[in-house]
Amino acid sequence: MSDFARFTPLLAIETSCDDTACAILDAHGTLLGESVLSQEDHAALGGVVPELAARAHLKALPDLVELTLQRAGLELKDIALFAATTGPGLIGGLIVGSSYAKGLAMACGKPFMGINHIEGHILTPRLPAALRPDETAPAFPYLALLVSGGHCQCIAVEDTGQYRRLGGTIDDSAGEAFDKVAKMLGLGWPGGPALEKLARDGNPRAYELPRPLKGRPSCDFSFSGLKTAVSRHVEPYGRDALPRQVAADLAASFQQAVTDVMTDRILHALDMVPHVTSLVVAGGVAANTVLRQRLQEIASQRGIAFLAPPLQLCTDNAAMIGWAALERLKQGEIPDDISLAPRPRWPLSERQPHQPHTPHDTPSSGSSSLMEPSA
């Protein structure tokens, strides 16, 4: 048995936003058991309410952990390590999930490992469960595009724990823009899947919408101006429901604008890291088929592989947290961070292998932003 395998099977918990998730992995990264509970109460409120999300996590975790153990055919005493998302994310949820995992670790006399949520997403394409039979895990280095409700970043993944942020959003994330535009079109929340479905019946050239930052140097993103442009087309209808074809055309035009921006930004990113072996996409917006197809075309043109996890591993899940912990264990990291405090903001640059945790890691009160700071 290799040294890192003594910390498996490991149990991971993810509670950074509104999904409560638990997963158990073995030393090979095989998913032994997994459970995800999506909170539905937020839909009627038009978005995630942090306090409600934290309470829901607290209520769900005991039964969810027990269910995951049953699915894995294991008992709590069989778990060798407990891991949990410790940031970035909504601070209430992070406190609940990490505290629960730490409590289990202390009760069982086992170690705890705090995992960066962003790291979990960008390492997901290496998870065995994320690969089709004809695919192999991307070799380092590769370029990761993280697009979700809280994040929009281009990251050069040089190795486990060695990440270089090439660019990110200067305002809204892509997922946030999808949700807000969907709300304008009367599609409710979360809006990404509904907007994509409606866009299939629309004309992507019906409305001339801006392509923010397209053609400019670097690979930063901006979506606030694009949202404003859509709102101006919706405004004349006032409180009346949009005619379905108008809504479909706006949805298709917006989706095309986002795809064009993403295409331009990724081409810039690839020019910045011409040595990468693969282009991977992760996060909830990675489920968008139009975006996936365009990214796959770019990768093919550049002669590199393209990988996108299956839908259930694009959105927040605990399997990615367990896999990130396993990747770090393989690198020789010793799980000794029981005192690691949850952080609403946690740039990847501040979590390198074997980096000691100091008092300044404790987050300041008040902020609940999901985005990594630009600087």
pLDDT for 369 equals 32
Give 42's pLDDT tier (boundaries 50, 70, 90): low
Give 43's pLDDT tier (boundaries 50, 70, 90): low
pLDDT for 51 equals 87
How many CB atoms are located within 10 Å of the residue 36 CB? 18
Whether residue 36 is predicted with pLDDT greater than 80 in this model: the reply is yes
Segment holding 141, helix H or strand E:
none
**When comparing pLDDT for 134 and 115, which is higher?**
115
Q: Is 29 annotated as a binding residue?
A: no
Q: Report the C-alpha gap between 94 and 310 in whole angstroms.
A: 25
Helices marked H in the chain = 50-72, 91-108, 117-123, 174-184, 192-199, 224-234, 244-272, 289-302, 311-314, 318-330
pLDDT (average), residues 272-289: 93
Kindly report, residue by residue over 168-193, the tens digit of the pLDDT.
999 988 888 999 999 999 997 778 89
Share of the chain above pLDDT 90, in %: 74
pLDDT (average), residues 152-174: 94
pLDDT for 359 equals 37
User: What is the SS3 assignment for 304?
Assistant: coil
Beta bridge partners of 19: 38
Q: Is 354 annotated as a binding residue?
A: no
**When comparing pLDDT for 149 and 137, which is higher?**
137
Amino acid present at 155? I
Taking Cα atoms as reference points, which of 60, 8, 2, 105 lies closest to residue 326? Answer: 8
pLDDT (average), residues 184-209: 93
Q: Is 149 annotated as a binding residue?
A: yes
Whether residue 368 is predicted with pLDDT greater than 60 in this model: the reply is no
Q: Is 121 annotated as a binding residue?
A: yes
User: Is 139-308 the same fold as 3-123+314-361?
Assistant: yes
Kindly report, residue by residue over 327-347, the tens digit of the pLDDT.
999 999 988 778 899 999 998
**What fold characterizes domain 3-123+314-361?**
Nucleotidyltransferase; domain 5 (3.30.420)
Beta bridge partners of 142: 157
Q: Which two tokens stand for residue 364?
A: 């300041």
Compute the 3-state secondary structure of the chain and give helix, strand, coil in percent, each to the nearest 5.
45, 15, 40
**Range of weakest confidence among 16-25, 214-223, 304-313, 333-342:** 333-342
Q: Is 147 annotated as a binding residue?
A: yes
Kindly report, residue by residue over 48-102, the tens digit of the pLDDT.
788 899 999 999 999 999 999 999 999 999 999 999 999 999 999 999 999 999 9
Q: Is 196 annotated as a binding residue?
A: yes
pLDDT (average), residues 290-312: 94
Whether residue 352 is predicted with pLDDT greater than 60 in this model: the reply is no
DSSP state of 46: T
DSSP string, 57-91: HHHHHHHHHHHHHHHHT--GGG--EEEEEEESS-H
Give 311's pLDDT tier (boundaries 50, 70, 90): confident
**What fold characterizes domain 139-308?**
Nucleotidyltransferase; domain 5 (3.30.420)
Q: Is 179 annotated as a binding residue?
A: yes
Amino acid present at 173? S
Whether residue 358 is predicted with pLDDT greater than 60 in this model: the reply is no
Kindly report, residue by residue over 251-265, the tens digit of the pLDDT.
999 999 999 999 999
Helix 244-272 and helix 224-234, axial crossing angle in degrees, nearest 10? 170
pLDDT (average), residues 194-220: 95
Domain boundaries, the chain: 3-123+314-361, 139-308
CA dist 372 → 73, 104, 123, 276 (Å): 38, 29, 17, 23
Taking Cα atoms as reference points, which of 297, 332, 324, 268 lies closest to residue 125? Answer: 324
Q: Report the C-alpha gap between 242 and 119 in whole angstroms.
A: 40
Q: Is 97 annotated as a binding residue?
A: no
Query: 168 and 152 in contact (C-beta within 8 Å)?
Result: yes
Whether residue 356 is predicted with pLDDT greater than 80 in this model: the reply is no
Give 151's pLDDT tier (boundaries 50, 70, 90): confident
Whether residue 307 is predicted with pLDDT greater than 90 in this model: the reply is yes
pLDDT for 375 equals 27
Give 147's pLDDT tier (boundaries 50, 70, 90): very high
Q: Is 99 annotated as a binding residue?
A: no
pLDDT for 44 equals 59
**Range of weakest confidence among 70-74, 82-86, 116-120, 356-360:** 356-360
Kindly report, residue by residue over 220-239, the tens digit of the pLDDT.
999 999 999 999 999 999 98
Distance from first CA to last CA of the chain, Å, rounded? 42
Model-level pTM greater than 0.85?
Answer: yes
Q: Is 117 annotated as a binding residue?
A: yes
